[in-house]
Structure 1
Amino acid sequence: MFVKLIIILLLVAIVLSLFSSAFFLVKDDSSRRRTLTGLKLRVALSVLLVLFILLSYHFGWIQPHGVGR
């Protein structure tokens, strides 16, 4: 259950980063490059999520199951 919670939290963080970057893209007039920073954060979180899922599968914390069976 703990692994699923971490995966959900990472997904929520990715979506929040997406919306904050979209907000800064539309509303921000400064030259602070907050949209680029949001993109970097989103890519880093996505890579972290994929690595966490791979490691969770490797260590047996999550198991695949057949959906169509």
Structure 2
Amino acid sequence: MKLVILIAFIGILGALAAAGLFMLRGGSGADKARRGPLMARALALRVGLSVALFLFILLSYLMGWIEPSGLPLHR
């Protein structure tokens, strides 16, 4: 379970880094026009992975694969 979550986080960070590189790379106007859709696709992938990770954690909780830690609240 921890490995799946770790791989998802690495994928999310990788997609975010790719979008950042597409945004920050310099070049001519035609080159910038080509990178726009690539950056949008990388950001869409990041959002999709984040939603999938959330749904996977929710499903895991509902199926009983993971449980809350039950840490006490101290006031």
Normalization by structure 1: what TM-score? 0.86
Unaligned runs of 5+ in 1: none
Aligned-residue identity in percent: 42
The equivalences for 1:1-69 within 5 A come to 3-27=1-25, 29-32=31-34, 33-68=37-72
Unaligned runs of 5+ in 2: none
Q: What is the number of equivalent residue pairs in this alignment?
A: 67
What's the CA shift for 1:60?
A: 0.7
What's the CA shift for 1:67?
A: 3.3
Task: Please provide the CA RMSD for this pair.
Answer: 1.5
Which of structure 1's runs of 4+ aligned residues deviate more than 2 A? 28-32, 66-69
C-alpha separation between the residues in 1 aligned to 2:72 and 2:62?
23
